[in-house]
A and B are shown apart, each in its own frame.
Chain A
Amino acid sequence: MIFSTKPEMATQEIQPNETLTNLKAESDTLKTKLEDERAKLHDVELHQVAEKVDGLGQFIMKTRRTLKGHGNKVLCMDWCKDKRRIVSSSQDGKVIVWDAFTTNKEHAVTMPCTWVMACAYAPSGCAVACGGLDNKCSVYPLSLDKNENLAAKKKSVAMHTNYLSACSFTNSDMQILTSSGDGTCALWDVESGQLLQSFHGHAADVLCLDLAPSETGNTFVSGGCDKKANVWDMRSGQCIQSFETHESDINSVRYYPSGDAFASGSDDATCRLYDLRADREVAIYSKESIIFGASSVDFSLSGRLLFGGYNDYTINVWDVLKGTRVSILFGHENRVSTLRLSPDGTAFCSGSWDHTLRIWA
Chain B
Amino acid sequence: MTIRTLRDYGQHYRPRMACLKNVEVFVVEMQDPKSGVKGADQKLNVTIIPHVINGQDVLAWIVTKMKVTTEEAQAFGTMLVAYGYIYPLQNHRKLVLVPDSTLYRFQTPYFWPVQKWPAEDIDYAIYLARRNIRKKGMLEPYEQQHYDNLHKWMNPKWDFIVMQATEQYKANKERKKPDRVVLDCQERAYWIVHRPPRRTHSAMDYGLDRLIDPNAEEVLTFDVVRRTNIFLTQALMRSAVKSSVSLTAFVKFVTTHHNHDPFLTTPVPSNPWITDSDEFWQLNSRSVDIPTKLSVERWVLSFWELISDPRGRVDFKLFLKKEHSAENMAFYEAAEEMRWGAASAIPEKSQFIFNTFLKPGAPRWINIDGRTMGLTVKGLVVPHRYVLDAAQTHIFLLMKKDTFYRYLKSPVHKDMQKRALVPAPHVFTDAQLEANVRNRNPGISPILQWQQEEEEKAAAAVAARPIDVKAMVATNKLDRK
Contact = CB atoms under 8 A, between A and B. Distances in A.
Contact of B15 (A61, A249, A305, A328): A249
Interface string A260-276: 11000001110000010
Nearest to A197: B385
Nearest to B259: A302
Contacts of B413: none
B208 A115 contact: yes
A137 to B, nearest CB: 15
A20 B247 contact: no
B456 to A, nearest CB: 14
B66 interface: yes
B263 A27 contact: no
B260 A313 contact: no
Interface string B203-231: 10001101111100010101101111111
A277 B240 contact: yes
B76 A289 contact: yes
Interface in B436-464: 440-443, 445-450
A44 interface: yes
B280 A346 contact: yes
A125 B79 CA distance: 39
Contact of B251 (A53, A170, A235, A291): A53
Contact of A126 (B22, B218, B446): B446
Interface in B251-276: 251, 253-255, 257-258, 260-264, 267, 271-274
Given A5-B226, A41-B241, A171-B340, A260 B278 contact: no
Given A64-B273, A189-B343, A289 B254 contact: no
B450 A124 contact: yes
A211 to B, nearest CB: 11
Interface stretch (B3-11, B155-163, B420-428, B470-478): B3-11
B38 interface: no
A3 B229 contact: yes
A34 B235 CA distance: 8
B222 to A, nearest CB: 6
A189 to B, nearest CB: 4
Interface string A33-73: 11001100111111001100100100101001100000001
At the interface, is chain A mostly helix, strand, loop or mixed? loop
A291 B22 contact: yes
Interface in A167-204: 170-172, 174-175, 181-183, 189-192, 194, 196, 201, 203-204
B45 interface: no
B440 A301 contact: no
A335 to B, nearest CB: 8
A82 B446 contact: yes
A19 interface: yes
A301 B263 contact: yes
A25 to B, nearest CB: 10
A258 B249 contact: yes
Contacts of B264: 56, 300, 302, 304-305
Contact of B250 (A172, A303, A328): A303
B337 interface: yes
Given A205-B212, A292-B79, A80 B247 contact: no
Contact of A192 (B340, B343, B440, B445): B343
A143 B447 CA distance: 8
Interface in B61-83: 66-68, 71-72, 75-76, 78-79
Nearest to B78: A313
A347 B271 contact: yes
A24 to B, nearest CB: 6
Nearest to B219: A203
A109 interface: no
B225 A260 contact: no
B453 to A, nearest CB: 9
Interface in A221-248: 225-227, 235, 239-242, 247-248
Interface residues of B, number: 102
A304 B243 contact: no
Contacts of A190: 342
B243 A30 contact: no
B304 interface: yes
B44 interface: no
A85 interface: yes
B248 interface: yes
A144 B447 contact: yes
B273 A112 contact: no
Contact of A258 (B78, B250, B261): B250
Contacts of A131: none
B352 interface: no
Given A82-B446, A320-B254, A289 B68 contact: yes
A315 B343 CA distance: 41
A3 B261 contact: no
Nearest to B262: A346
Interface string B5-25: 110000000011011001100
A299 to B, nearest CB: 10
Nearest to A113: B3
Interface string B270-311: 011110001011001000000000000000000010000000
B171 interface: no
B336 interface: yes
B248 A49 contact: yes
A143 B255 CA distance: 42
Interface in B56-105: 66-68, 71-72, 75-76, 78-79, 96
Nearest to A106: B445
20 contacts: A23-B226, A24-B225, A30-B229, A41-B242, A49-B244, A53-B251, A64-B274, A162-B211, A174-B342, A261-B250, A277-B241, A277-B249, A278-B240, A291-B22, A293-B16, A301-B263, A302-B258, A303-B254, A313-B78, A346-B267
> Which 4 residue pairs across A and B have the least CB separation, nearest first?
A125-B446, A302-B257, A302-B261, A172-B340
Given A312-B79, A347-B273, 12 more contacts: A23-B222, A37-B240, A49-B248, A82-B443, A101-B272, A124-B446, A125-B449, A174-B341, A215-B304, A225-B214, A258-B253, A354-B201
Interface of A: 3, 5, 9-10, 16, 19-20, 23-24, 26-27, 30-31, 33-34, 37-38, 41-46, 49-50, 53, 56, 59, 61, 64-65, 73, 80-85, 91, 99, 101-102, 104, 106, 112-115, 124-126, 133-134, 142-144, 162-163, 170-172, 174-175, 181-183, 189-192, 194, 196, 201, 203-205, 214-216, 225-227, 235, 239-242, 247-249, 256-258, 260-261, 267-269, 275, 277-280, 282, 288-289, 291-293, 300-305, 311-314, 320-321, 328, 330, 333-335, 344-347, 353-354, 359, 361
Interface of B: 1, 3-6, 15-16, 18-19, 22-23, 66-68, 71-72, 75-76, 78-79, 96, 201, 203, 207-208, 210-214, 218, 220, 222-223, 225-236, 238, 240-251, 253-255, 257-258, 260-264, 267, 271-274, 278, 280-281, 284, 304, 336-337, 339-344, 385-386, 393, 396, 400, 440-443, 445-450
